[in-house]
Amino acid sequence: MFLNSKTMTTFIRATLKVRVPEALTFVSTSHNGAVVSEWWAVPVERRIPSGHPSRVGEVADALNKGSGSISRPTTKWTPPLSYKFLATKMAKEQGEAYIKRCEEWFEAHPASVPKAAKVPVEYNQDMVAKYFSRLTSVPETKDLLKMWRTAGLPEERLQKMMEWHEKMDATAGERQARIDAIFGPPEEPKKTKKVAKVIKAVKKRA
């Protein structure tokens, strides 16, 4: 009796995978006064194209890449502060030319003038502290400016404060729309019906 090859079931023999064991090394370390020994994986050393992990290897890599890959940084010339002393060590004509060149450079590049320190603004800090301690909500801009003016804040600072508050008030809707687009609109508080309390008459016992 012969089996039909079309109806015969064929099985694929599974190929066994050969797992290469990881390279390990036995290492002993000291931990809290005790020697602990265990197997550690051996770190794989990556090969460097030039074969030398140092400045010599960097130079060899640059040579292999070609001259077009090397870029040399260029620094601008600046005269030293002791240029007159250095000019005395040169020949007369060379020293005069060197001094002239240094002075021309200093004229073209004047030293920056340090900014004067800002004088702190003086105002009645106790009045401001008492005003904000009594607040329970955000005050109106006009009331806030009135308080700062009474406390002794200069008019220049008051003008900047007024402009900033006007800008915030004008862009409040736009900024709120952006916040709602990210976090969603604020939830409205649920309205609850007030239930009238019914007081039942209590019968006194005779």
- Would you write out the chain's pLDDT as a tens digit for each of its 206 residues? 444 445 555 566 666 666 767 778 888 888 777 888 888 887 776 666 666 667 777 777 777 777 676 677 778 889 999 999 999 999 999 999 999 999 999 999 988 888 888 888 888 999 999 999 998 888 888 899 999 999 999 999 999 999 998 899 899 889 988 888 888 887 777 777 777 777 777 776 65
CA angle 169, 118, 141 (to 5 degrees): 20
User: Does a structural domain hold residue 32?
Assistant: yes
Structure tokens given for 77: 């010339």
User: Does a structural domain hold residue 117?
Assistant: no
User: Does a structural domain hold residue 4?
Assistant: no
How far apart (Å, rounded) are the C-alpha atoms in residues 205 and 188? Answer: 50
Do 131 and 87 reside in the same domain of the chain? no
CA angle 83, 87, 88 (to 5 degrees): 125
User: Does a structural domain hold residue 191?
Assistant: no
How far apart (Å, rounded) are the C-alpha atoms in residues 33 and 2? Answer: 77
User: Does a structural domain hold residue 130?
Assistant: yes
Domain count for the chain, please give it.
Answer: 3
How far apart (Å, rounded) are the C-alpha atoms in residues 41 and 150? Answer: 75
Q: Residue type for 142, please? A: K
Range of the domain at 38: 23-72
How many alpha carbons fall within 13 Å on the CB side of residue 139? Answer: 13
What is residue 151's three-state secondary structure?
helix
The whole model's pTM is what?
Answer: 0.37
